[in-house]
Amino acid sequence: MTNRRSIFKLFLVVCVVSLFVLFFASDTMSFSKYFEKTPTSKLKCDCSHLPFSNVETQHTRVNETRTTFDIQKHKNGKFGIIREVFVGKERPLQHDVSIVTHLDGTRLQNSIDLANSWEGPIQVTVFLPTRKIWNITVNTIKHIRSKEVNVRRFVTYHILFPLRKDYYSVKVKEEKKLKQNNNLEFLTFPLDETFKNGNVTIEKVLEEFSETNIKFALEGSTREHIAFYPQTIAMNVALSSCKTDYFLCIDSDLIPSEGLRKHFIAFAENHNLYALAKYHPPKARVGDIAHTKRAGNDVCYIHKDNEVRLPDMYVIPAFQTKKEYPIPRTLKSLRAAVDAKTAGRFFQDIDSSSYPQTNHWKWLRTSDGGNLLSCLYEVKYSRLYEPFVITRKGIPMYDERFSGWSEVESHHKLLLATLGYRFIVLQNGFLVHYGWKVASHVSEQKRHERDVHRGVWKDFNNDLKTL
């Protein structure tokens, strides 16, 4: 009997030790994987949830042979939304920064350029002028993914399309409710004739896709501008799908400087920006928002003592370059291009309100060209300022009453400034627009769309008074 008890006790000890070893090995593996995928392992974040809550819930990956999708009906009744039509194969860590953007079918090349320059998570909403071109849209994206490794790895595509022809009108009419999980006929994608030749070039595919989009777009549309393009809704679809703590909302035709994503992650880790903190709800009254504190010239925001505060807007200066010249990706090449007058401030020749407050020339003088991002100076907000910023998830969405060419970034930054967000310019990181903006880009169609929104601006400004 004694021997049996001894054997049983020995068996229990072996079981407990085995379980402990398995548990420890599992945790060690998780921890090592986290550091392998994080661009920098010099963590200073004291979050108690690291690294295990950094693993997000697995989202369903799109099967390449899948023929049906869940359709969401937008709250205004005018648009259908299909999320995650194609999903980047590399699932992002929560402690990362995503590019959030949108485009119409004439600019699908931009998603390739962004994937190759950012090399990290990207959320893209593609606007279709009609559901009739669903098939060629899916086939085009599939073809791009088959040819472009970084698109396949990093880019998640969402689709936005009109449910009705008068989607640009201000008033909303009642219509039959679109059922969720509706397997509609147009949501199948047999292989189009264009794609049967496996050697067809991306250039040919994109050219045909671009022409198809213009063909079905509203009157007044061109390759340069799709009439009444619903960019605020498109941006919100991508923004609400973002999986990372930080994001950068930009136009799809802007290219980030070399290493910007990796350098911002290091900046966020060094300043503990990933730590848990409480934030005011988006519509907090201005008087309720606590003033942020500075802990030195290079630290503009730190989670400390659980203070309630708003995350800062980290301004990334935007430049533009002439198309016949290569896009500068380093500070050295950017300075050389500016000196040669082949690059300059974004909207340099046609805009005196939206971007100059960033003070690009001061930024060029004071950035040191190194790999470290740090805070250079704070920009005092003035009306119509619309910088491109990296900020933390949880900010207010874009106001969807604005549509088309209607200064949508201006309204959003005005809202953020009214709520108390601060604009801090970071050194070394920048964006470059491929092509030089000139006054002629403001077409009659764009002027018409801006005029249509005069009343929307009036309503929006009245709403700000209630904050």
* Per-residue pLDDT tens over the stretch 61-86: 444 545 567 788 888 888 999 999 99
Cβ(452)–Cβ(404) below 8 Å = yes
Task: Name, in order, each residue with C-beta under 8 angstroms of 238's C-beta and a sequence gap of 6 or more.
Answer: 100, 101, 102, 123, 124, 125, 158
Closest CA to 98 of 247, 235, 240: 247
Give me the pLDDT at residue 167, please. 75
Distance CA 320, CA 318 (A): 7
Number of C-beta neighbours around residue 103 at 10 A: 23
Q: What is the pLDDT of residue 182?
A: 44
Beta-bridged to residue 424, according to DSSP, are: 314, 378
β-pairing, 318-321 vs 343-345, is antiparallel
Task: Annotate 193-207 with b (16+ C-beta within 10 A) or e (fewer).
Answer: ebeeeeeeebeebbe
What residues contact 370, with CB distance under 8 A and at least 6 apart?
A: 428
Q: Token pair for residue 431?
A: 């964006």
pLDDT of the residue at 226: 80
Give me the residues of the chain with pLDDT under 70, please.
1-68, 169-198, 276-309, 349, 351-353, 406, 438-441
pLDDT of res. 148 = 96
Q: Yes or no: say if 369 and 293 are a contact pair by the CB < 8 Å rule.
A: no
For residue 174, CA distances in Å to 76, 77, 125, 164 come to 10, 8, 26, 11
The residue written with tokens 């849209």 in the block is 137
Helices and strands (H, E) in the chain, number of each type: 12, 14
